[in-house]
Amino acid sequence: MISSKILIMKVLTIEQIRTLYPDQWVLISNPELSDPSINASIVSKLIAGTVLFASKDKRELAYKANELRQPTDFTVCVFTGTFVKNRLFLL
């Protein structure tokens, strides 16, 4: 069974988001990002935002995104788990 939640609108910090939705893909509206002039991963720059949806399955989040988002919303999607460290990429 897929674990997913439609959530109450409230601005949360990234620490709160990680605690409440561990190891999940989280759709966040109106994100506050640190230092917009520096390019880095979104999750490393996310300070706070409003959680619209969270799921273990990114595809479920993708299907739900458009019904949850308000027309004026700007969103980002972050994964609250950890990625494998020290991976080498050959793109």
Partner 1 sequence: MRKEIFKRETDESLIILQCHFPNHGIALAFDTGASHTTIDLTAMMIAGYRIADVLRTESIETASGIIESYIFRVKELTALGITRYNIEVCAYDFFAHHVLTEFDGVLGLDFIGDYRVCISLKKSEITLYEK
Residues that bind partner 1 (CB under 8 A): 27, 31, 33, 36-45, 58-59, 61-63, 65-66, 69, 73-77, 79, 83, 86, 88-91
Considering the complex, what minimum distance in angstroms separates the CB of residue 17 from partner 1? 15
9 vs 83, which CB is nearer to partner 1?
Answer: 83
CB of 23 to partner 1, least distance (A): 12
Q: Which residue number, 5 or 59, has a Cβ lying nearer to partner 1?
A: 59
Chain centroid, CA 17 distance in Å: 8
Q: How far is the CB of 6 from partner 1 (least distance, A)?
A: 16
Backbone dihedral angles phi then psi of residue 89, each to the nearest 5 degrees: -110, 135
Please, what is the minimum distance in Å from the beta carbon of residue 68 to partner 1?
10
- Buried b or exposed e, range 55-65, using 16+ CB within 10 angstroms: beeeebbeebe
Angstrom distance (rounded) from CA 28 to CA 10: 10
Find the helix or strand (DSSP H, E) in which 66 lies: helix 58-68
